[in-house]
Amino acid sequence: MAPSLTTRARAKVNLDLRVLGRREDGYHELESLVAFAGIGDTLTLVPGEPLALSIAGPRSAGLEADDGNLVLRATRLLEKMFPGLRAGRFHLVKRLPVAAGIGGGSADAAAALRLLARLNGIASNDSILREVAAGVGADVPVCLDSRARLMAGIGEELGPSLRLPPLFAVLVNPGVAVETVAVFRALGLSHGERLAAPRGQGDYGKGADVLPRLLRSENDLAAPARRLAPVIDEVLERLSALPGCRFARMSGSGATCFALFDDCRASAAAAKALAKVRPGWWVKATLLG
């Protein structure tokens, strides 16, 4: 029997997010600079056993290991594209909050695709692998490589990877799930409505000067998400008030927010201070890249 394979499913953080408009088919077009955190879930694949999924970990409560789980959906879709695909039993250790705007489920699905690709000798840049990722969910393609880059369209347009400077961050989730569909619905855009033109990769240069540019950007989903989950206002206010905070912003469709600091000592101290006053919140100091 082949040895088990393990990979991390790192949290995705939208450093900014622009809504460019809504297509005639109803999908919203976005442009977002994405980075990945040093924290995430862990997924293990035991080859040679019947396809199955077990889930454990501090954030596993309420998750079902059924056909709706993105790990199994990704596997079954890849099996259709690669007849005779070798699979096995998955075990997920869930550490990231769900419905949180940091791509936890998408990262897990991408992790499953990476493990299956390794097991079956499928190249990481195989076009079919990318097609399957896009078929599972909008954030899955960018999570395949888990590298900082600009993503656009409905998630299928990926720019080249960017080398960002060290971004010392604190991630915070108040324990409130925010439904992505509800946030987009609250935007109230009509089919075919356009809001802005894409800026493109050149707006971020080579990544080294990303912070000044981020200070001039925002997350267009923050306003509707804050109306649906007013606690996001408190999260952002508390992050902004922490010593050394450069700026605070919501990630994705929320409710997870992040703040950036100049060094790891400042971010660690800020996380410790916030966790003390809000012990029920998920608070993590991490490095984004």
Q: Is 284 a catalytic residue?
A: no
CATH class for the region spanning 167-288: alpha beta
pLDDT for res 84? 95
Summarize pLDDT for 105-123 with one digit per residue, the tens: 999 999 999 999 999 999 9
**Percent of the chain with pLDDT strictly greater than 90:** 90
Q: Is 272 a catalytic residue?
A: no
Tokens of 37: 């955190």
Cite the residue boundaries of each domain of the chain with CATH code 3.30.230.10. 5-158
Q: State CA 130 to chain mean position distance.
A: 17
CATH class for the region spanning 5-158: alpha beta
Banded model confidence at residue 202, pLDDT cuts 50, 70, 90: low
Which of 170, 169, 180, 183 is CA-nearest to residue 282?
Answer: 170
Which of 69-101 are b and which e, b meaning 16 or more Cβ less than 10 Å from the residue's Cβ?
A: bbbbbbbebbbeebeebebbbbbbbbbbbebbb
Answer yes or no: is pLDDT of 200 > 80. no
Angle, in degrees to the nearest 10, between helices 231-240 and 264-277: 140
Average pLDDT for 152-170: 94
Output the pTM of the full model: 0.95
Strands 88-93, 52-56: pairing is: parallel
Cite the residue boundaries of each domain of the chain with CATH code 3.30.70.890. 167-288
Cβ neighbours around 11 below 10 Å, total: 30
Which of 41, 139, 220, 284 is catalytic? The answer is 139
27: which DSSP letter?
P
